[in-house]
Amino acid sequence: MIRLRLTLLGFMQFFVWGAWLITIGTYCFNAKGWTGAQFGAIFSTLALSSLFMPAITGIIADKWMNAEKLYGILHICYGIVLLFVPQVNDPDTLFYVIFAAMIFYMPTISLSNSISYTILKNNGYDVVKTFPPIRVWGTIGFIVAMWITNLTGSKDNANQFVIASIVAIGLGIYSFTLPKCPPTKSISEGASFAEQLGLKAFKLFADYRMALFFVFSMFLGAALQLTNMYGDSFLDDFKRFPEYADSLVVKYSTIIMSISQISETLFILTIPFFLKRFGIKQVMFFSMLAWVVRFGLFAYGDPAGGLWMIIMSCVVYGMAFDFFNISGSLFVETTTDHSIRSSAQGLFMMMTNGFGAYFGSKLSGFVIDHYFIMENGDKNWHGIWLSFAMYALVIAVLFLLLFKSPNDKVKEFAH
């Protein structure tokens, strides 16, 4: 019963994000006609909120409030804010609305993990064995939400946010019925505010190898957001061509994009093999090459003869996403002192989902507006994806030349 309840929690946690994350680009670009810079600013709110909210809510849950109650309040607030989106008709206002929504949503990702860990441990479960199958249902929830958004005709209108809102409010109410997760007061009473926020981990930048790793994490974090931002809009834009207007790719663009998330769940299972066989540096390098392939296939794909390229691009996404995020997390786990390990993991996420995602969102919008908008106002998607592919290739080559890694240690950890 506990596992079933946590499975439902994980499913809804990512359902309420998947309902709009992949299709907000179609909504802003194709339906509203806003610019790349305007959409980039809106999408950057995910990154901005990731810079401070998880740390703040973590302190609240550690010291003052039951985690499941804080989680419920955040989701109810998130759902209420999303209900305002259909009333918004300009990008500047939507920036603040989505920013408010992300302030409430982003910390719930780590809180949902903490709640699951606590409840499983309190009920005698082996977290290492029990949690991964539960977490997979989060990705399934994300996929199901994408399909519902597409099949209900909501991918290019504000109904996608209403779908997310209804489920988010329901999730918030549901969370109040979960077993109690009281504050652990694990933070030392004498700890400084900097220590509470995990800022001690920033001393890792004094180590050349770790500093380089975090810099590349930021660069890859920028690449990660590009297909989330533009993938569905790109596929939907094929409707401008009469020969593709009624194609499956245009009608079911969000479902096609969901192949990326399906691939993600499968590539997770291959990581231990690749780590043992090749080591951490090679696995992260494979991830960067996979981003090159991901963007390159999109550049040359189309809904007819190039459909296989679009499908393969979505399949390759699993390697591109998992191989860096999971192996990068393992690198941090095996190369940092145990006293700052959790803070170091937070720093890794801050560099990828915070700074990297922010710069990727802002700069990509600027580049598209200045170099890839044609005279008739259409986007040169071929040039856009090729430029992204070149970016990933440069990062991959620099990483191969500059980064050194203790492969043996990570291989032992993977084994």
The predicted-structure confidence for 79-90, as pLDDT tens digits, reads as follows 999 999 988 888
Final residue of a structural domain among 129, 156, 181? 181
Task: Report yes or no on 187 lying in a domain.
Answer: no
Run of H or E including 413: helix 407-414
Task: Report yes or no on 192 lying in a domain.
Answer: no
**Nearest to 84, CA basis, from 101, 69, 68:** 101
- What CATH number does the domain containing 73 carry? 1.20.1250.20
**Nearest to 52, CA basis, from 99, 115, 118, 114:** 99
- The pLDDT confidence band at residue 408, using thresholds 50, 70 and 90, is very low
Could you tell me if 258 and 356 lie in one domain?
yes
| Best mean pLDDT range from 52-66, 181-195, 215-229, 319-333 | 215-229
Q: Say what the pLDDT of residue 341 is.
A: 57
SS3 415: coil
Task: Report yes or no on 364 lying in a domain.
Answer: yes
Could you tell me if 68 and 213 lie in one domain?
no
Could you tell me if 176 and 206 lie in one domain?
no
Task: Report yes or no on 43 lying in a domain.
Answer: yes
Amino acid 374 reads: M
Could you tell me if 18 and 124 lie in one domain?
yes
- Number of domains the chain contains: 2
Could you tell me if 290 and 362 lie in one domain?
yes
Could you tell me if 354 and 306 lie in one domain?
yes
Q: Say what the pLDDT of residue 313 is.
A: 95
Task: Report yes or no on 191 lying in a domain.
Answer: no
Task: Report yes or no on 188 lying in a domain.
Answer: no
Q: Classify residue 31 as exposed, middle or buried by CB count within 10 Å of its CB (0-12, 13-18, 19+).
A: middle
Could you tell me if 107 and 28 lie in one domain?
yes
Could you tell me if 202 and 177 lie in one domain?
no
- Determine the Cα–Cα distance for residues 354 and 126; give it in Å rounded to an integer: 31
Task: Report yes or no on 211 lying in a domain.
Answer: yes
End-to-end CA distance of the chain: 32
Task: Report yes or no on 165 lying in a domain.
Answer: yes
Specify the pTM: 0.78
Phi, psi values for residue 379, rounded to 5°? -95, 140
Could you tell me if 23 and 162 lie in one domain?
yes
Could you tell me if 35 and 160 lie in one domain?
yes
Could you tell me if 133 and 207 lie in one domain?
no
- Determine the Cα–Cα distance for residues 197 and 303; give it in Å rounded to an integer: 48
Least confident of 13-17, 24-28, 125-129, 389-393: 125-129
Give the pair of three-digit tokens for residue 292: 């090159």
Question: pLDDT tens across 296-312, in order?
Answer: 999 999 998 899 999 99
Q: Containing domain of residue 210, as a range?
A: 198-415
Could you tell me if 304 and 376 lie in one domain?
yes
Final residue of a structural domain among 119, 148, 181? 181
Question: pLDDT tens across 96-132, in order?
Answer: 999 999 999 988 887 787 788 788 888 877 766 776 6
Run of H or E including 321: helix 307-335
